[in-house]
Amino acid sequence: MIRDRGEVILSAGSLGSPQLMLLSGIGPRSYLSTWGIPVAIDQPHVGGFVYDNPRNGISIVPPVPMENSLIQVVGVTEDGAFLEAASNVIPFASPLHSVFIRAPASPLYVPVTTIMEKILGPVSVGSLRLASTDVRINPVVRFNYFSDPQDLERCVNGTRKIGEILRSRAMQDFMFREWFGSHRFRFVGVPLPLDQTNDLVMADFCRRTVSTIWHYLTMVAALLGK
């Protein structure tokens, strides 16, 4: 509802709100001009200060059935990385299906347990830009994960903590027995690096495996004036 001397409440989410503001002419004058959008308010910060909590982790197939569970916090590191765990089932797609085996009519599901670390309050700053003047086209978002070395260091420390968890006595029940009596985890996706003492190796793992946890945050306050 819009009234004289009132206000407009825009609630389109962390990504939708700045997109609508830019399309409405509220944003950096020079940027809006490149799109041919009439400038209603020159507000340089709209589309900036975009944040997301980077997430890294590993997934393993447990040797015994697991109950499905949502993401749960199981610990917090000293520098503010949340350690979380979840279990679920995912469709299994064998690379042999397309070559030797006809894919089944119904997918085969396998249980998966995931242990992850998530950085609370990242320092790295991203941006949101228009991909089109059509409101139906999603904007272009860059979170710039780990552009600040503090975030990368926290990821390295949190990922090392996951390694400590995997080496704990409690996690031995999640290993498969192999030939000659050895035990090992069966990873789904990228496993942790073998050399977890090497900062460069661990930092590379963080960069290669980072994903979103869908906790977007954007500063979109505009000075509307009278």
Convert 209-222 to b/e letters by CB count within 10 Å (16 or more is b): bbeeeeebebebeb
The Cα 61–Cα 186 span in angstroms is 6
* CA-wise closest residue to 206 among 166, 160, 165, 167: 160
215 is a catalytic site residue:
yes
* CB contact at 8 A, 202 and 104: no
Handedness of CA 172, 174, 178, 184 (dihedral sign): negative
Options 45, 97, 183, 215, the catalytic residue? 215
Catalytic residues: 215
